[in-house]
Structure 1
C-alpha cells in the first residue's frame, strides 16, 4: 500500500524546500498539500510554483476537509517551511485553520509530525514553543543544511535538508551523501 502524507506550506521564507520535498514525494507516496494564503504570496515573491500536484486543499479555512478528522488515515505530516505563527498555534492547540487542525490531529493520533521552521535568531518564546511541541511528540527540524556533504550548488543544500525529512518519513532515497565518519 502506498504511503500517504500531508505537506503544509506556511508563510515563511524557504519555499524551495517545500517544492523540492513535493517533487520527491509525489513519485513515492500519495501527497495531500495545503498552502496557506500568505505562503502563496511568499512563493510568488520567491519565484516558486506549486502547480502540478494532485491533491491540493486550496482553502486553508475549510475545516470540513477530510484531513481535519482523526478518521482520515495518513502516515505523517510535514509543515515546511513552518512559520513561527503556525508553530505557536500548533504548540498551544489553537486549531483555527486546516493546517493547524491537521497538525493537531496528527499529534493526537500519534502520527509522525515534522515542523520545519526557517527562522533566526530564535527567541525564548520560539524555543519554548518548540520544546512544548517536542514534548507533544512532534519532530522539530530547523531548516539548516549541513556542509559535510560538500555541496556544489544551492540545489545540493536543498536536497540535503529534504533527504533528512525523507529519512524521518522512512522513505528510501539517494538525494544526499550520508556521513561515513571518514574524510
Structure 2
C-alpha cells in the first residue's frame, strides 16, 4: 500500500500550494485524500481558474466537507499525515479548539488524537492576537504551523519555484519518502 496523505484546501489565499501538493503527491505515488471547503472551491476557481471537478481530478479520492462519516474521519484509517494547504484562520480556529464541524476539521482532529503529523500552511497577514493564540494552541496539541514563507537563498526565479520549495519542505515534514527540498550547504 502506498503512503496516504490527507490534503485540505480552505478559502485562504494560496490555493496553488494545495494544487501543487496534490500533483507532487501523484508524482511520488501517494494515495491522496482531498477535502476542499466551499470557500476553498471559490478560491481555487478565482486564483487558479479551476472548478471542483478539475481539482478533484488531481487527487486519488475526494471527500465532501459535509461527509463526516468518510474514511478520513476515523483514526482506524491510517495516514502518513494531513496537510491543510492553505489553512484559513477560520479553519485554524476550529482545529485549535477541537470544533470538528466539517470533515476537514474532523480529519484534523483525528490526525491530532492519533498523534500523526498535522501541517497547517496558515495564510494571513498580519496576525492578530487570536491568530497567534490559535497557532500556539494548535502547536501545543502537536500540529506543525507552517506559513509558506519563501526561502530566497536558493535564488528562485519564478513563483512556481517558490511554491515547489515550500511543498517539498512540507512533504519532508510529513515524512513522505522522495521529498526533495533543497538543502542549505553553507557559504
Same fold (TM over 0.5): yes
Task: Name 2:10's counterpart in structure 1.
Answer: 10
1:121-136 aligned at under 5 Å gives the runs 121-136=126-141
Change (3 A) 1:71 1:173: closer
| Counterpart residue number, 2:62 | 56
- For the 8 Å contact 2:169–2:179, the answer to whether it is kept is no
- Partner of 1:72, secondary structure, is coil
SS in 1 for 2:72: helix
- Indicate how the Cα distance of structure 1 residues 24 and 125 shifts in structure 2: closer, same or farther if over 3 A, else same: same
Q: How far off its partner does 1:173 sit?
A: 3.2
Question: Which structure 1 residue ranges, 4+ long, deviate > 3 Å from structure 2?
Answer: none
* Residues 85, 120 of structure 2: 8 Å contact kept: yes
1:104 paired with 2:109, answer yes
| Aligned pairs for 1:5-84 within 5 A | 5-28=5-28, 29-49=30-50, 50-52=55-57, 53-57=59-63, 59-84=64-89
Deviation of the 1:94 alpha carbon: 0.4
Pick from 151, 161, 170: which aligns with 2:166? 161
* Cα displacement string for residues 15-69 of structure 1 (whole angstroms, at most 9, x for unaligned residues): 1111111100123211101111110011101124314222111x20111111111
TM-score between both structures, scaled by the size of structure 2:
0.92
| Secondary structure of 2:130 counterpart | helix
Aligned-residue Cα RMSD (Å) equals 1.2
In 1, the alpha carbon distance for the partners of 2:84 and 2:37 equals 11
